[in-house]
Each structure stands twice: as structure tokens, then as C-alpha cells.
Homo-oligomer: A and B are copies of this chain.
């Protein structure tokens, strides 16, 4: 089964299960605010990864479902809170939770989503050691995602940010959820220690490649396909790997067109286009880096037995760094 086929099958299962698992509780407002973002779409990449690894290890996607759902719910919880912190009004084409309701309700709904994720995860059918490790990993992941988010916010104000800082930040903020999903899928599938470790690393390269490619898409994506405004990161002054590379390698004169757009929310389209043009070498650098991570992820799959699922995991790693939206 190819990536698209696997994804559309599991996305359906995940959507049905999410609708069921989130329709709980007696408080109407909270329930609606909790369901708003998870039910408004999303690629379901994180649950897919956990299920796909469990399938690749031992055909046991079904048993990994509580982890898959918990990760998708947590992903949505972090988005609800990030949108408050970043003061974003729209996501997935719909108003954010704090815009639909208010900040207090959005804080509360995010908290309740995180709690619900742990409730769902507590139904996991696995031996004690696996059960304990998966719960620990998921909780540790959320705390470290918070570290990534804090760094992300600080980097916007901080003068000197290195590529190493950036990589540490995206490893926490983005890759860790892929790492936890891939490792958890392997643990639940009864994988060997070698497989569990390799899947953790696979998740890391998949996630880091995914985020670097996302930064690239933010400048180079087709406005019709990419769901966010092109150049948004640059105009906002985000220190992506592309900008950091430009700062580190370009002369003041070469950087001039970039600086006309960097952190200037009201820059014109022409200014943005000139900035993107000037960033060409750094865009190339980022794209190469993303593909490197994609290739490293693929190489790690050698610990898995050959199967259609293993082939789909390979497709997923390539998709992460080649996708157009």
C-alpha cells in the first residue's frame, strides 16, 4: 500500500476515533472548544507514523491506536496554546480557538485536550514495562516541546542565534513528536532494542527534515498549495535555518535585500520577492540539509523486515522533505 493509500485509510480511522474520544464531558463550551481544531483537518502524520511503525515491526497498528490518538490530540493541544502565544487568528483555514471563544477558554481547552490524551493513552494494551515507558516518553515529550516553544519565542528577541541553537529548538518543538511516535510504535509492536532505537532516530531525522523543508516551503511554496502565507516567517523575523545561514555566510551588502523584508510585517510583495531571490544560496543549503535528513531516516529503516509498511515508511521520509504543502 502506498503512502497516500495508507494515509487515507488511517486518517479515516483516526478521524472516527477522535470524534468519539473527544465527545466527552458535560461542559458544552469546553467540549466544543476541544473539538474545534482536531475536527477541522490536519494531515494526521503523527498518528500515521506510530501506526505505520507498529505495522512494520509486527503488523500491530491496531494496538498502537491509543498512542496514535494521544499524539494527534497532543499535537492539537500544542497548536491551540501556540496560537494564543503567537497571537495567530487562523489555522487550517478556520479561526483559532481563542478567536472563536476567548483566551481563557482556549487555555482551558488546550489543558483538557492534553488531559484527554493521557486518558486515551491509559487504555493502552501493553506489558507493564512498555506501558510505563510510553507514558513517560509522551509526558517527557510534552515538557520538552515546551522547551522548544520557549526557545522559539526567545530566539525572536535574541541577537545571536546559531544553527546549533535552531536545530536544538526544532528537535524539541517538531521532531520529538515524531521520535516519540516512531519509538512508541516500535515498543508497542514488540520490536527489538535495536529496532526501538533506530525508530527513535528515524523519527528525529524525519522531524528535523520535515521542519527544515517547512521553513523552505514558507519561502518557496506555491501559494495555491502551501496553506500559510508565503514569506510569513521572514516578515515576522523568525530565525529559520535559511536566515541563520544567510547571516553567517553573506556580506552586509548581499544581505541588504533580505534585511528589507526580515521582521518587517508590512513589507511589499516586491521587497519580499527580492529578499527571497537574495536568499537563493541559503535556500539551496536548507533544501540539501532537509534531503540529507530524509536520506538518513531512510537508511535507518534497514533494521526492519521488508514489507509494504517498511516501503511506506521510506515514502514517508521522502514525502517529509519533498512535499509541496
Interface residues of A (CB under 8 A from B): 24-27, 29-30, 78, 81, 84-85, 103-105, 107-112, 114-119, 122-123, 128, 131-132, 135-136, 138-144, 146-147, 149-151, 153-154
Contact = CB atoms under 8 A, between A and B. Distances in A.
A143 B119 contact: yes
A291 B115 CA distance: 33
Main secondary structure of the interface of A (DSSP, over half): helix
Tallying the copies of this chain within the complex gives 2
Contact of A111 (B24, B123, B138, B146): B146
A112 B143 contact: yes
7 contacts: A29-B150, A115-B142, A118-B135, A122-B132, A128-B128, A128-B131, A131-B132
A136 B131 CA distance: 13
A81 B107 contact: yes
Contact of A147 (B30, B138, B146): B30
A143 to B, nearest CB: 4
Nearest to A105: B150
Contact of A146 (B115, B141, B149): B115
Contacts of A112: 142-143, 146-147
Nearest to A143: B115
Given A115-B143, A132-B131, A143-B115, A107 B122 contact: no
Contacts of A146: 27, 30, 108-109, 111-112, 115
Nearest to A29: B150
A118 B139 CA distance: 6
A114 B112 CA distance: 11
A144 B138 CA distance: 21
A203 B112 CA distance: 22
A151 B111 contact: no
Contact of A107 (B25, B107, B141): B107
A108 B150 contact: yes
Nearest to A30: B150
A27 B173 CA distance: 12
A173 to B, nearest CB: 11
Contacts of A136: 119, 122-123
Nearest to A109: B146
A140 B111 contact: no
Contacts of A104: 84-85, 153
A147 B34 CA distance: 11
A23 to B, nearest CB: 13
Given A105-B153, A119-B136, A128-B128, 17 more contacts: A25-B144, A25-B147, A27-B146, A81-B107, A81-B111, A84-B104, A85-B108, A103-B103, A104-B153, A114-B114, A115-B139, A115-B140, A115-B142, A116-B143, A122-B135, A123-B136, A131-B131
A247 to B, nearest CB: 23
A118 B134 CA distance: 11
Contact of A149 (B108, B117, B140): B108
Given A27-B147, A27-B150, A119 B139 contact: yes
Contacts of A153: 104-105
